[in-house]
Amino acid sequence: MSTVRFIADPHLGHLNMAKRRGFNSFEEHDEYFIKQWNSVVGKRDLTYILGDITMESSKYYHLLDRLNGRKIVVGGNHDKPGHTKELLKYVESIVGMIQYKGIFLTHCPVHPREMEYRIKHNIHGHIHENRIEYNIRLLGIKLFSRVDRRYHCVSCEHVNYTPKTLKELGITR
């Protein structure tokens, strides 16, 4: 039996992102990512990678071959369209925004209006360590903010570089 998982923003081979994330080198970062991925993803599992495989370079795509399971990429803002042919050597397919079980899978979070009538959840990346919040107001005065539970950011920073299942994200159907 296979399991479906989600992760975003690996940024393989990207030194500045590796340092921002607390690693000494992109090699250390990438090896940690591969170790974490393979600790939970099995040979038959499917993982949606929600954008930003690298930082606009195809040089590190070969590392995807070291990751267990099948992979589908939802294109991100740093995934170059001109690299599609090369990326398809390592992944099953590349898509834009897609629905999975009535959930939008995107790189960037969808606009809140889409959440009002079309879908109940959006699994996404792009915002890295941040979360989507909404303000609680009374008479136009902001009292406090709350995390918007309709949005599920799976950027590596949020999920300890480990692809997550719907259940692990707290999404029940």
Question: Over the stretch 103-141, which tens digit does the pLDDT of each residue have?
Answer: 999 999 998 888 777 788 999 999 998 888 877 777 887
Instruction: Determine the average pLDDT of the residues in 84-108.
Output: 96
Q: Does residue 152 contact residue 169 with C-beta atoms inside 8 Å?
A: yes
DSSP secondary structure, 91-147, as one string: SSEEESSEEETTEEE-SSPPPHHHHHHT-S-EEE-SSTT---EEEEEETTEEEEEEE
- Give residue-wise pLDDT tens across range 15-73: 999 999 999 999 999 999 999 999 999 999 999 999 999 999 999 999 999 999 999 99
How large is the average pLDDT for residues 81-89?
A: 96
Which is nearest to 9 in space by CA: 122, 158, 151, 169? 158
User: What CATH class does 4-153 carry?
Assistant: alpha beta
125: nearest Cα among 73, 56, 69: 73
pLDDT at 173: 64
Calpha distance 13→15 (Å, rounded): 6
Number of helices and strands in the chain (H, E): 4, 10
pLDDT at 105: 98
In the chain, the percentage of residues whose pLDDT exceeds 70 is: 99
